[in-house]
Amino acid sequence: MAIRFAALGATVVCVDINDTSNEETVKMIQARKQKAFKYRCDVTERSAVMQLAERVRKEVGDVAVLVNNAGMMPCNPVLQQTEQEITLMNKLNINANIWMIQAFLPVMVQRNYGHIVAMSSMAGLQGIKNLVPYCGSKYAVKGIMDSLAVELRSDPRDLSGIKLTTIFPYIINTGLCKKPRIRFKNLMKVVEPGEAADIIINAMRREYTEISIPQDLHYLNRYIYRLLPLEAGCTWMDFIDAGVDAHG
């Protein structure tokens, strides 16, 4: 996404907890004579996020597009997941979204201009086995974005220039999902990161409020599956037999 935003002429601010991988991304962008800055930040720490926003504002400028992409996915039956793993996941998948919004929304409000993109998941629309805490965190991302939309809309100031996009990916080949399970590979294909980035940026530029990846799944999941009673939805999902296996 960073590489593609830069190619579109954006000045990209890359934020990563890992300075080495961040350096790789920024170097790739700079090698093409495009603009990228790198910041190291643990986004689970609210104070670190506030400092980040302050530094970026001084050193780069006002942020117009915020992409909240950091996340982790512990994948095991709920009784096998540890407190440490679950707490860290919630801090990253849920709290960090809110800290980043608190840090970068004020300038967007001042200018009535901006766009926030958040990564929910297919696991933010339906229950999936081995992902009990993760599904909870991805439903939370949906809740955060849905209520932020309602709050901005009801603000007495005109904030219609601030756009929100929530992404509901199935499986992207980034290494996040270690053991995907797919029966119908045309319907539920594993999407390559570059293709996913194109879909996300396209959705953002078209100001879609939400999309799934692959895109057709959105209608299936958001509308058809959710109209069915739980047992019917589960039977349908049993037939599709798509999900993730436990890491063990």
Ligand X SMILES: *[C@@H]1O[C@H](CO)[C@@H](O)[C@H](O)[C@H]1NC(C)=O
- Per rule CB under 6 A, is residue 174 in the interface with ligand X? no
The count of residues interacting with ligand X (CB under 6 A) is 3
Cα separation, 91 vs 214, whole angstroms: 27
| Cα R_g (the chain), whole angstroms | 18
Q: Work out the angle at residue 39's Cα, subtended by the Cα atoms of residues 33 and 44, and round it to the nearest 5 degrees.
A: 145
Interatomic CA distance for residues 160 and 245, integer angstroms? 42
In this complex, which beta carbon is closest to ligand X, that of residue 36 or of residue 103?
A: 36
Positions marked catalytic:
134
Cα distances (angstroms) measured from residue 57 to each of 40, 63, 104, 163, 215 = 15, 7, 9, 20, 35
**Interface with ligand X, residue 80, by CB under 6 A:** no
Stretch that binds ligand X, among 6-14, 18-26, 31-39, 175-183 (CB under 6 A): 18-26
> Would you say 21 or 87 has its CB closer to ligand X?
21
CB 242 within 8 A of CB 181: yes
Of 17 and 182, nearer to ligand X (C-beta) is 17
Choice from 9, 18, 157, 158 touching ligand X (CB under 6 A): 18
Q: Is 21 in the site for ligand X (CB under 6 A)?
A: yes
Residues in the site for ligand X, rule: CB under 6 A?
Answer: 18, 20-21
